Amino acid sequence: MSDTLQFVNFGFHPLLMEGIEASGYETATPVQQQVIPPILAGKDVIASAQTGTGKTAAFLLPVMNKLLENHVDGQVGALIIVPTRELAIQIAQHIEGLSYFTHLSSIAIYGGNDAQNFVAEKKALQLGADIIVCTPGRMIAHLNMGYVNMKGLRFLILDEADRMLDMGFQDDISRIIRALPEKRQNLLFSATMPDKIRQLARKILHDPAEVNIAISKPPDKIVQQAFVVYEPQKLQLIKRILKGTSYKNALIFCSRKQTVKQLARELKQLRFNVAEIHSDLEQAERENVLAAFAGGRIPVMVATDILSRGIDIDTIDLVINYDVPGDGEDYVHRIGRTARAEATGLAYTLVGEKEQNKFAAIEK
Ligand code: AMP
């Protein structure tokens, strides 16, 4: 398959193409390249893909395209079930952006006590909306009132299915599915594929196309170590690492720019030759400090995640995570700044007492 499949190759409706362009998407991401064709071909799909891969547009675009090409008024066309209201809101925003130039209607149905929302939700469930995004609990509340009409439903999408099972929504999902017509296209997305997801898939999907988007892995030649410490010990530990390790360029990541500024200040007081980089610097200043760092005049750089992607300085042989990055993907990007080209590298992560769960998730 081509690495650079363009959206024009999918033959999407022109009004949908306008939404794609307005969203700033140029090439399809790997999950989109693999998932869109089978969905367009009418197949059920099971895909393991994490947040950040472009998975939302991977199911929204082909479903929207089919709803546009074969539009029926007055019914619910697609139902997307998600674990949390945050995700429901996020997907609703995606729908709004991508469908901006079309006449497709959509609504997000999630918990909360807003009576006005409830009335709008009820109306959509009775009279139809092209796409409904819902959390299980809220949908059950509506189902219990007896007016939900899903007769024309053509697409069922379960997003972050593993999280839904972890949150105990299995029965709610079954209950919702019983209210749907049997003949429909089913799409299941999950970050992980434990057995219980496979079992769920066997119940819901028919002869699905299977797509696996591999999770990024750091190169083997990076030696990785983690230290579990109390927050106030981190500065001393960094000092010891910098004194006790031989390196050409050391890059220290902090998640917040306030921490970057403070740590750079403290290291300067300890007489290390340090520069800092974060979003408060002008572009020209950033370029200057980067050049000084790459040229070896300043051997230590403290940075936010703005430096975790894209910079390619092959003398970086030590990366220190002053704090635990947001997720596995960020971690891989951060430590991937070392051991560029043929070199080897060292990556240390300082795990504060409150960061242990987050680090455990990254290790997994
Ligand atoms: P998701 O994995 O669905 O949460 O998407 C992650 C982010 O990638 C979102 O901000 C999307 O708007 C963006 N995105 C999705 N598809 C593309 C694409 N083909 N090109 C650029 N950005 C994209």
Give the torsion through C-alpha atoms of 328, 329, 332, 336, to 10 deg.
-160
Tokens 């929302």 -> residue: 117
CB 256 within 8 A of CB 303: no
Distance CA 156, CA 186 (A): 5
Task: Report H helices in 156-280.
Answer: 161-166, 170-178, 195-204, 234-244, 257-269
Q: What is the pLDDT of residue 310?
A: 60
pLDDT tens, 157-177? Answer: 999 999 899 899 999 999 999
pLDDT digits (tens, 9 = 90+) for 136-146: 999 999 999 99
> Residues with Cβ within 6 A of ligand 1?
25, 28-29, 32, 51-57
Between CA 109 and CA 94 the distance in angstroms is: 15
pLDDT of residue 342: 58
Residue 21 pLDDT exceeds 90: yes
User: What confidence category does residue 4 fall into, taking pLDDT thresholds of 50, 70 and 90?
Assistant: low
pLDDT of residue 113: 65
**Cβ neighbours around 254 below 10 Å, total:** 24
Across the beta sheet with 222-228, what order do the strands follow? 222-228, 345-351, 316-321, 249-253, 300-303, 274-277
Instruction: Give the residue, 95 or 332, on which the prediction is more confident.
Output: 95
- For the CA of 28, the closest atom of ligand 1 is 19
Instruction: Report the mean per-residue pLDDT for the chain.
Output: 91
Q: Which pLDDT tens digit goes with each residue over 292-342?
A: 999 999 999 999 987 877 677 888 999 999 999 988 888 988 898 888 765
Ligand 1 pocket: which of 7, 9, 12, 29 to mutate (most atoms within 8 A of CB): 29
- Closest ligand 1 atom, CA of 53? 2
Amino acid 312: pLDDT: 73
Model's pTM, two decimal places?
A: 0.66
* 160 secondary structure, DSSP code: S
Q: Kindly state the average pLDDT of the residues 69-88.
A: 94
- Name the residue with tokens 């390196």: 247
Over residues 218-272, the pLDDT tens digits come to 777 889 999 999 999 999 999 999 999 999 999 999 999 999 999 999 999 999 9
Residue with structure tokens 């981190």? 234
The whole-number average pLDDT for the span 170-196 is 95
Measured torsion, CA atoms of residues 8, 13, 17, 19, in degrees rounded to the nearest 10: -160
**Mean pLDDT value across residues 94-115:** 91
CA distances from 140 to 118, 143, 171, 180, 347 (A): 13, 5, 10, 13, 48
State the burial class of residue 202 (Cβ atoms within 10 Å of its Cβ: 0-12, 13-18, 19+): exposed
The angle, 0 to 180 degrees and rounded to 10, between the axes of the packed helices 170-178 and 136-145 is: 40
Return the residue whose CA atom lies nearest to atom 22 of ligand 1: 25
